A and B are shown apart, each in its own frame.
Chain A
Amino acid sequence: MTTVKTYVRPMAGWWRKNPFFVWYMIREASAPLFYLYALWLLAGIVALARGPAAYASWWAIAKHPLMIVANLIVLVFAVYHTWSWFSVLPKTTPDLDVAPGTLVTGGIVAAAVACAAVLAFALGATR
């Protein structure tokens, strides 16, 4: 078989050339953050199961300024994930017989209500 030297369009940095793809990649960046956040939460659960000393070590890391900054970054991306997730909902659920605008607004309102409920639970339980 002979190899034919055809021109292959270079793909390096493709997403930096179009703002739409830049936002796409920013959205994709939330993925490793959720993955790592879940691992950090898992470490806390395992520490809790191992006892007070293990939990105290995990809590000391949670209180470290760098960890707070890391969680702030996760929070920013989590909020963007919420927004983008419901913005594309009309496209990801084409079978739903709901007007696109209603679906997007409904989703964001549902997220706001769910977050308020989780916060209210935390405030109520620790009062």
Chain B
Amino acid sequence: MKRSNAPLFWALFGAGGMLAALIAPALVFITGIAAPTGFILPADAMSYERMLALTRNVFAKIALLAVVSLFMFHGGLRMYHSLHHLGFHTGTGSKVVIFGVALLATICAAWALLAIGF
């Protein structure tokens, strides 16, 4: 019998779901609301210099790569199943697109974080 690849996708889904459940509210609040509006945080909280210094840290690189990749694999699996729930029985095609983009994003993030340097 051919081995199912489902456990791999469910593991990534679970890891991303747990990471999102733990820190997504704070992360979205800081990057999407507090820093851009200067609410609570200073207006230059996410300045180029500051973000460059942050992303040169190897732990910050790993954390950002984990957030980008796992959030996409987590959201991707639910999106894939939601399509079916809404009556779009797209099958393998949508799976390839949804997870292909997630994989591509992971590679892009890794490349960019390495290009930023140490």
Contacts and interface: CB of A to CB of B under 8 A. Distances in A.
Interface of A: 11-12, 15, 25, 28, 30-35, 37-39, 41-42, 44-46, 48-49, 52, 55-56, 59, 62-63, 67-68, 70-72, 74-75, 78-79, 81-82, 85-86, 92, 107, 110-111, 114-116, 118-119, 122-123, 125-126
Interface centre among A15, A46, A79 (most CB of B within 10 A): A46
B30 A48 contact: no
A42 B109 contact: yes
Interface of B: 14, 16-18, 20-37, 40-42, 44-46, 48, 50-52, 54-55, 64, 67-69, 71-72, 74-79, 81-82, 85, 87, 102, 105, 108-109, 111-113, 115-116
Nearest to A14: B85
Contacts of B30: 118-119, 122
B74 A15 contact: no
A78 B28 contact: yes
B112 A12 contact: no
A114 B14 CA distance: 18
A42 B104 CA distance: 11
13 contacts: A28-B81, A31-B75, A34-B16, A34-B72, A42-B109, A55-B48, A71-B36, A75-B29, A78-B28, A85-B20, A119-B30, A123-B41, A126-B50
Contacts of B54: 125
- Classify the interface of chain A: helix, strand, loop or mixed: helix
A88 B110 CA distance: 32
Given A38-B68, A55-B48, 18 more contacts: A15-B85, A30-B78, A31-B82, A34-B72, A34-B74, A38-B72, A38-B75, A45-B113, A48-B52, A48-B55, A59-B36, A67-B32, A68-B36, A71-B33, A75-B32, A78-B25, A81-B20, A85-B21
Contact of A78 (B24, B64, B102): B24
